[in-house]
Amino acid sequence: MMIEFRQVFKRFGAAIALDGFSATTGNDWTCIGVLGRNGAGKSTLLRILVGMLSATSGRIAVRRQTQCWPFAGAALATFVPEQTAVVPTLTGKQYLCLHETMSRLIGVATDARLRERLVMELDVGAHLDKLCRRMSKGNRRKVELIAALSADVPLVVADELTDALDVPSWLQLQGIIRVITAAGRKLVIASHDLSFLADVCDRIWVIDHGRLGPRRPPK
């Protein structure tokens, strides 16, 4: 799989979120980290990658084998947003079941063995019978990660993947990422946490004022 951004601009009215962002993963990669300050354009970039937003101008190409797409749709990628998207009125088990059913409708299978492993390693099994609204923020995040990572798609796109996780879960997640990348899956992770990205990513894109690489802010 190769992902390419070519002169991607995104404007929200007068505000410029992406200002000609250009980057490519190449073909030989496993995990890309997207690092930047608040407002640098990280979340916008990820949402354009998965088709939740459209670019104002520029080109995105997601290539896999002989096929090419203008974004990584739901049959190709799973997306973990910065703000939790679990349904508060469902239990953790019900949410996982709902995610599996919705994935099946678009032709995406769920890796049941991986899901069981994630439940065990993230130590959330005792909380799955609770309503999501009654879980701690960290456990809601774990349920969301389990649903996303167990979807059998080639790409995981995550915004602030470690948000609300405690240190043991943070360390477990590092190991989980190594396992799934060794199995051939790819990840694009946006985060403020340089130490986490440095540990799990084979390269890091620094985004600043909507472009690749640090630059001076406009006067």
pLDDT for 196: 87
The average confidence (pLDDT) of the chain is 92
Whether the pLDDT of residue 159 is over 70: the answer is yes
Question: 215 pLDDT exceeds 60?
Answer: no
Nearest to 22 by CA among 59, 50, 49, 47: 59
- DSSP per-residue letters across the chain: -EEEEEEEEEEETTEEEEEEEEEE--SS-SEEEEE--TTSSHHHHHHHHTTSS--SEEEEEEEETTEEESS--TTTEEEE-SS----TTSBHHHHHHHHHHHHHHTT--B-HHHHHHHHHHTT-GGGTTSBGGGS-HHHHHHHHHHHHHTB--SEEEEESTTTT--HHHHHHHHHHHHHHHHTT-EEEEEES-HHHHHHH-SEEEEEETTEES--PPP-
Per-residue pLDDT tens over the stretch 185-206: 999 999 888 888 999 999 999 9
CATH code: domain 2-212 is: 3.40.50.300
The predicted structure's pLDDT at residue 59:
95
Q: For residues 77 and 194, which has the higher predicted lDDT (pLDDT)?
A: 77
Between 6 and 160, name the one with better pLDDT: 6
Provide the pLDDT confidence category of residue 161 given band limits of 50, 70 and 90.
confident
Looking at residue 41, what is its pLDDT? 94
pLDDT in tens, 106-125: 999 999 999 999 999 999 99
Lowest-pLDDT range of 29-38, 147-156, 172-181? 172-181
Mean pLDDT to the nearest integer, 127-152: 94
98-102 mean pLDDT: 95
Provide the percentage of residues in the chain whose pLDDT is more than 70. 97
Mean pLDDT, residues 91-106? 95
What per-residue confidence (pLDDT) applies to 91? 97
Contacting residues for 92 by C-beta, under 8 A, at least 6 apart: 86, 124, 127, 128, 129, 130, 132, 135, 139, 143
In this structure, the chain runs to a length of 219
pLDDT at 214: 61
- What percent of the chain shows pLDDT beyond 90? 76
